[in-house]
Amino acid sequence: MAEKKRRKPVDKTKIEYVEPKPSWIKAVKVNDHNDVMGSIVQFFLVESPCKGVSSRGLSLLDYGWADSVPPKFGYLHRRLLEVANLCDGSTLFTATRKEEMKNRFVEAGMPGNFASTCISNRVVALINSNFVLDLFRIIRNSLAHCRFQLVEKNGVDFIAFENGIPGKDLIGADSFEVSSRLFLKCSTLIDWIAVVKSEAIYETEEIARKKEASEREWENKRQLVLSRISSGSYSNKDDLGKDCELSKRNLDELLGELKAQGLIAYSRSNRKWELTGDANP
């Protein structure tokens, strides 16, 4: 019976611990005449696009997106960063391990009192699998556990979000293990909602353009390979691949395609691919 792999002990000195009920979260009524908070709660909590967190959740597919899990640096990923003016290493800091988060909070200038010190959009997030959905999940969790605060800075409304889990600190006292902190304008969150609800069509158009460009490039490579085979200006397959700037895998795929179409055949006597009578490069 195979022995179970032991998990590496967590280095608690690298974990950000704070009090379970931080002072920056205040039990005050929010004056929200335009029901902005209602829209934010409805989208990120009640109708969360994150799978399995809400019985009333709506998948990104429901809004017309190509996938329920948006691709890294795909249209939606890029648009969220653009709308929020988030730039990696400047206003956006991410990590994939919780032991990295304490340093990320320091690098980002988002300490325990970040709700007081931040004055513009800023994100420090633990990303486990998918940037967009993990970001939405952080907001969802913060709202669900009421670990957020509406903050006004120079007449602009922000929301400070903090996500994590209850835990024990270095001395064993009850504490809260912080994994992410977000400080975002309410208007940014509303803009994010608008992007999700109305911009799937632009992703569809982008995918179509990329597909068309890829097909055009493939056809150009196809004609180039046929031309090189026709002229016999290559010594071996590796030479043909380099000349046509094709990887071994792509060249094999293209040669197989041309062979299946009856355009080329391999000459054992000449040890080369040659055109058949049906080829017209």
Do residues 67 and 77 make contact, with C-beta atoms less than 8 angstroms apart?
A: no
CA atoms of 112 and 75, how far apart (whole Å): 33
CA atoms of 142 and 183, how far apart (whole Å): 12
Which residues of the chain fall short of a pLDDT of 70? Answer: 1-7, 28-34, 277-281
The pLDDT score that the predictor gives to residue 33 is 59
Do residues 227 and 240 make contact, with C-beta atoms less than 8 angstroms apart?
A: no
**Which residues does 32 contact at the CB level (< 8 Å), separation at least 6?**
38, 150
The pLDDT score that the predictor gives to residue 10 is 76
CA atoms of 125 and 111, how far apart (whole Å): 14
The pLDDT score that the predictor gives to residue 1 is 46
CA atoms of 110 and 80, how far apart (whole Å): 21
Domains and CATH numbers, the chain: 12-200 (no CATH), 214-275 (1.10.10.10)
The pLDDT score that the predictor gives to residue 131 is 98
The pLDDT score that the predictor gives to residue 278 is 59
Paired sense of beta strands 174-185 and 156-168, if any: antiparallel
**Which residues does 121 contact at the CB level (< 8 Å), separation at least 6?**
84, 85, 86, 91, 183, 184, 185, 188
pTM of the predicted model, to two decimals?
Answer: 0.84
The pLDDT score that the predictor gives to residue 31 is 63
